Chains A and B, each alone.
Chain A
Amino acid sequence: MAVQDLAQADDKVESVADVATLLERVDALEERVAELEEAPAQGIEDRLSMVVFSGDLDKAIASFIIATGAAAMGLEVSMFFTFWGLSIIKKQKQYEGKNILEKGFAAMLPGNTQGLGLSQMNFFGAGSRIIRKLMNDHDVASLEEMVGMAQEFGVRMVACEMSRELLGISDDELMDGVEHGGVATFVGDAARSKGALFI
C-alpha cells in the first residue's frame, strides 16, 4: 500500500473517533438540558405562597379568591395560616382540656368561617351578614365554597404550630387535611415561589 493511502486511512480512523466523542458530548449535553428543565431557574417553581395572618372575613375571601384563581391557572399554592388566620381553618370550637385563658380565647374567637367578622364596618356581625348576602345576590362564590375548591385543587394549607399552641387551638378544632408547620415550612415554600403574599 502506498504511503499516501495509509495516511488517508489514518485520517478516516481519526474522524470516526471524533464523531464518536462528539456524539458522547451531545448525549451528555442533552442529559444536562433535561436536568435543567426539570429544575428551572434556581429551583423557582410555578408556585404562589401566602401568609394568612388576618382572621377577618373580607381578608379571608381575598386570600381564597387568589388561592383558587392561582390554582386554576396551574400554580401550586401554599397557604400558611398563623395567629388570627387560624380561625379561617377551624371547623369547630372545643373547651374540654383547656385552661382558663385557652377557654377565654375559644369563647372569643370564631369556631368556623361562619363566625368571621369584617375588618371594617362589622357592627357586631351585622356587617359580615350583609357582605355574605351581597355576595350571594351577586353570584359570588361563598368563602366556604372557595375553601372547598382550594382543597379540591390540592392547595397546601399549613397551620402555624406555634400560634396554634399559643391560642390553645387543638388539632380537633382544625379542618381535616390541614398540615402543621413552622416558619421554615413557609419560607421553604416561599423561597421556591414566583410570588409571596402576606394577608
Chain B
Amino acid sequence: MDITFDELLDVKGAKCPMPIVKSRQAIKKIPVGSVLKVVATDRGSVPDFQGWADMAKDIELVEQETLQENGQELYVHYVRRTK
C-alpha cells in the first residue's frame, strides 16, 4: 500500500498505553491536515487506534495495515490531524 504521510513515528516495542500517548504528543506538533504514520509492534494498537478515532473530534484514521518485517508483525496506522 502506498499512502502519503508527513511525519513518521516509530513506537516499535512500546506497550499500551504508549502508542496512543506518543501519537497524541506527535500529532499536536504537526499542522492541521497532515498525516502521521505510526509504526507499532503492539497488537492491541489496532483496535486502540480505531477507538481513538471513533472518540476524538480532532483526528481521523486514514488507514491501517499489517506488515511483516524480519518475522515480526508491524502494525501501521495513518492518522490525520483534522483540527
Contacts and interface: CB of A to CB of B under 8 A. Distances in A.
Interface of A: 46, 65, 68-69, 71-75, 138-141, 146, 149, 153
A26 B54 CA distance: 32
Given A69-B17, A74-B56, A139-B14, 9 more contacts: A72-B23, A72-B24, A73-B51, A74-B58, A75-B55, A139-B13, A141-B14, A141-B17, A141-B18
6 contacts: A69-B17, A69-B48, A72-B21, A74-B57, A75-B55, A153-B24
A24 to B, nearest CB: 31
B16 interface: yes
A191 B15 CA distance: 32
Q: Which applies to chain A's interface (DSSP): helix, strand, loop or mixed?
A: loop
| A-B complex: 7 closest residue pairs judged by Cβ atoms | A69-B17, A72-B24, A74-B56, A72-B21, A140-B15, A72-B20, A139-B13
Contact of A138 (B15, B20, B21, B58): B15
Contact of A72 (B14, B17, B57): B17
A73 B20 contact: yes
Interface residues of B, number: 19
Interface string B24-39: 1100000000000000
Contacts of B24: 71-74, 153
Nearest to A72: B24
Contacts of B56: 73-74
B60 to A, nearest CB: 13
Given A72-B21, A73-B24, A73-B52, A65 B16 contact: yes
A38 to B, nearest CB: 14
A71 B15 CA distance: 16
B15 A139 contact: yes
A138 B23 CA distance: 20
A45 to B, nearest CB: 12
Contacts of A72: 17, 20-21, 23-25, 52
B59 to A, nearest CB: 8
Nearest to B15: A140
B15 A141 contact: yes
A68 B17 contact: yes
